[in-house]
């Protein structure tokens, strides 16, 4: 029987085989936890990013989008707290020299116990992490005799904090060069542009600034494919609100974001909220939207009420005033006046969203045919509106004028949606290939097309086929994409 782990491994192979995702620098044996998106992966990723961007900016008249640089002034990361606090507790095994994130090491151990015992270990760990008790964490590991997966010994170093930011040098002369960081989140590019956007866009509170882009973290335990990468992409939105109203907006965005995930085809029962036990230094409330990945429930998106922490810090470190003048009237009929806005953040990883969509889409179907023989297919049931290719146009034969009709259809459709043309191989084989890459609609042009101008359209999910007028193909696909 196929286990969840097997299915996950199959999904990873499938992503490679069909041009979705490749290991980075594979030619040189790869670079750990870094991945390249292939021809179909890049398109699916773009479609997801476009959906998010549209839902944030086009669908909210009070949210605008920006594109800040990856490199930022080094003081940004001092002000944000990343230089001092962006770290995870790590422990090394002295025999294998393997480094572990302490929470992952203990979680891995807890999974080997029965539920009650496992929960007790996790509860003890949460308490120690919340108290920043590093010796306590080491004692917990020793008490349970948790072993290194490689050396199988319990010979551990002390627990230490390890900063996750990558650094590099800016400037051409080594002595004068400054250390700068590759951003570990996109949010700070929004905070430092708060006044620029508010003033030039004449934005009135409440309003949001959205951004998508690369972020970099030197993750120690980098596994589970694109779930945890060292270079990844975030889609973040900072919503600036009046102090005191943050919980109202926090709840609003919590619901909005869950609804958005459902709108791109993620079933409600595969999503859940997880409130944070330990709040980050900047937050007064935080939760994760978790998805049930093939390896368990894990964070897909974070919703954080970040208070006025970031803007206040940037005002302090830059020695500039970062405030908003609110001339709306309060209950006493007076303007609210000057204040530092509070912020509610929504932050989703594009790669994790990609993995979510792929884990839901990957289906291994088997059935018995009428003649009693077994048949089956691997199909990616990606919702049509985000599928990389929407329509495959397939002339039955490479002759008799069929390719010409097919190419004419292709030319008519390709400015409206992504099409794929294929004239090689038997039609059944071509359908299977389109199933495997997740193309929702296939159209076959055959000899009857020449007689009555009709074609066969085949639907990926139920393999239904019907005859429709050639002239209706574009309209039908567009209707399906917008429904």
By C-beta, is 95 or 299 nearer to ligand ATP? 299
What is the C-alpha separation between 91 and 156, in angstroms, rounded?
A: 7
By C-beta, is 346 or 444 nearer to ligand ATP? 346
Q: Does 470 bind ligand ATP (CB under 6 A)?
A: no
By C-beta, is 242 or 304 nearer to ligand ATP? 304
Token pair for residue 133?
């008790």
By C-beta, is 256 or 299 nearer to ligand ATP? 299
β pairing state of 391-395 and 441-445: parallel
**Binding-residue total with ligand ATP (CB under 6 A):** 16
Q: How many residues does the chain have?
A: 483
What is the C-alpha separation between 266 and 300, in angstroms, rounded?
A: 12
Q: Does 381 bind ligand ATP (CB under 6 A)?
A: no
- The maximal CA–CA distance of the chain, rounded, in angstroms, is 82
By C-beta, is 228 or 314 nearer to ligand ATP? 228
Token pair for residue 371?
């003649």
What is the C-alpha separation between 231 and 289, in angstroms, rounded?
A: 21
By C-beta, is 347 or 444 nearer to ligand ATP? 347
Phi/psi at 75 (5° precision): -65, -25
Tell me which residue has its CB nearest to ligand ATP. 349
> Binding marks (x or -) toward ligand ATP, 172..211, rule CB under 6 A?
-------------x--------------------------
Q: State the nearest-atom distance from the C-beta of 345 to ligand ATP, in Å.
A: 9
By C-beta, is 226 or 437 nearer to ligand ATP? 226
Q: Does 301 bind ligand ATP (CB under 6 A)?
A: yes
> Which spans in 295-396 are helix H?
309-318, 350-361
Q: Does 90 bind ligand ATP (CB under 6 A)?
A: no
Of 47, 55, 211, 234, which one interacts with ligand ATP (CB under 6 A)?
A: 234
Contact 391, 442 (CB under 8 A): yes
By C-beta, is 219 or 364 nearer to ligand ATP? 219
By C-beta, is 40 or 348 nearer to ligand ATP? 348
Q: What number of H helices and E strands is found in the chain?
A: 16, 23
Of 91, 300, 322, 343, which one interacts with ligand ATP (CB under 6 A)?
A: 300
Query: Cα-Cα-Cα-Cα dihedral of 460, 465, 466, 469, to 10°?
Result: 60
CA distances from 51 to 59, 212, 281, 354 (A): 10, 12, 31, 12
> Binding marks (x or -) toward ligand ATP, 336..355, rule CB under 6 A?
-----------xxx-xx---
Q: Does 232 bind ligand ATP (CB under 6 A)?
A: yes
Q: Segment near ligand ATP (CB under 6 A), from 11-19, 121-129, 175-183, 227-235?
A: 227-235
Contact 347, 234 (CB under 8 A): yes
Of 14, 82, 183, 228, which one interacts with ligand ATP (CB under 6 A)?
A: 228
Q: Does 303 bind ligand ATP (CB under 6 A)?
A: no
Full strand arrangement of the beta sheet holding 419-421 = 419-421, 391-395, 441-445, 454-459, 465-469
What is the C-alpha separation between 68 and 209, in angstroms, rounded?
A: 11
β pairing state of 391-395 and 362-368: unpaired
Q: State the nearest-atom distance from the C-beta of 21 to ligand ATP, in Å.
A: 13
Of 229, 283, 473, 481, which one interacts with ligand ATP (CB under 6 A)?
A: 229
- Residues from 421 through 440 that contact ligand ATP (CB under 6 A): none
Q: Does 299 bind ligand ATP (CB under 6 A)?
A: yes
DSSP letters, 416-443, are: TS-EEE--SS-HHHHHHHHHHHT--EEE
CA distances from 328 to 324, 334, 335 (A): 12, 8, 5
Terminus-to-terminus CA distance in the chain, angstroms? 37
Q: State the nearest-atom distance from the C-beta of 156 to ligand ATP, in Å.
A: 22
Return residues touching ligand ATP (CB under 6 A): 185, 217, 219, 228-229, 232, 234, 299-302, 347-349, 351-352
């Amino acid at each position: 029987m196929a286990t969840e782990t097997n299915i996950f491994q199959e999904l990873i192979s499938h992503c490679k085989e069909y041009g979705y995702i490749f290991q980075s620098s594979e030619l040189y044996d790869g670079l750990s936890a870094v991945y390249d998106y292939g021809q179909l992966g890049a398109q699916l990723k773009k479609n997801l990013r476009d959906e998010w961007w549209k839902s944030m900016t086009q669908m909210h008249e009070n949210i605008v989008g920006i594109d800040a640089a990856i490199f930022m002034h080094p003081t940004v990361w001092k002000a944000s707290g990343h230089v001092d606090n962006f770290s995870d507790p790590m422990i090394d095994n002295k025999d294998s020299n393997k480094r572990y994130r302490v929470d992952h090491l203990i979680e891995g151990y807890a999974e080997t116990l029965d539920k009650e015992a496992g929960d007790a270990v996790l509860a003890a760990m949460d308490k120690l992490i919340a108290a920043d008790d590093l010796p306590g964490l080491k004692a917990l590991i020793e008490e349970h005799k948790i072993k290194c997966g490689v050396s199988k010994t319990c010979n551990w170093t002390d627990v230490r904090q390890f900063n996750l930011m990558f650094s590099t040098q800016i400037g051409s002369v080594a002595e004068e060069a400054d250390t700068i960081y590759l951003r570990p989140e996109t949010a700070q590019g929004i905070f430092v542009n708060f006044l620029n956007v508010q003033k030039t866009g004449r934005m009135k509170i409440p309003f949001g600034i959205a951004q998508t882009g690369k972020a970099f973290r030197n993750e120690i335990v980098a596994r589970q494919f694109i779930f945890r990468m060292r270079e990844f992409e975030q889609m973040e939105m900072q919503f600036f609100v009046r102090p005191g109203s943050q919980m109202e907006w926090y709840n609003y965005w919590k619901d909005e974001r869950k609804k958005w995930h459902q709108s791109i085809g993620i079933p409600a029962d595969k999503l859940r909220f997880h409130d944070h036990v330990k709040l980050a230094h900047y937050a007064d409330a935080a939760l994760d939207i978790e998805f049930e990945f093939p390896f368990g429930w894990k964070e897909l998106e974070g919703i954080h009420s970040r208070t006025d922490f970031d803007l206040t810090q940037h005002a302090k470190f830059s020695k500039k005033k970062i405030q908003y003048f609110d001339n709306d009237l309060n209950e006493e009929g007076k303007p609210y006046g000057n204040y530092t806005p509070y912020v509610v953040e929504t932050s989703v990883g594009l790669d994790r969203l990609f993995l979510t969509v792929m884990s839901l889409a990957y289906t291994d179907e088997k059935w018995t045919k009428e003649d009693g023989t077994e048949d089956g297919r691997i199909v990616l049931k990606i919702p049509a509106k985000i599928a990389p290719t929407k329509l495959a146009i397939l002339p039955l034969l490479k002759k008799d004028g069929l390719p010409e009709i097919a190419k004419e259809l292709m030319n008519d459709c390709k400015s409206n949606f992504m099409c794929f043309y294929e004239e090689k191989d038997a039609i059944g084989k071509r359908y299977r290939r389109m199933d495997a890459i997740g193309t929702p609609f296939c159209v076959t042009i055959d000899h009857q097309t020449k007689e009555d101008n009709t074609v066969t359209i085949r639907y990926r999910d139920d393999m239904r086929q019907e005859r429709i007028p050639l002239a209706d193909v574009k309209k039908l696909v567009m209707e399906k994409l917008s429904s």
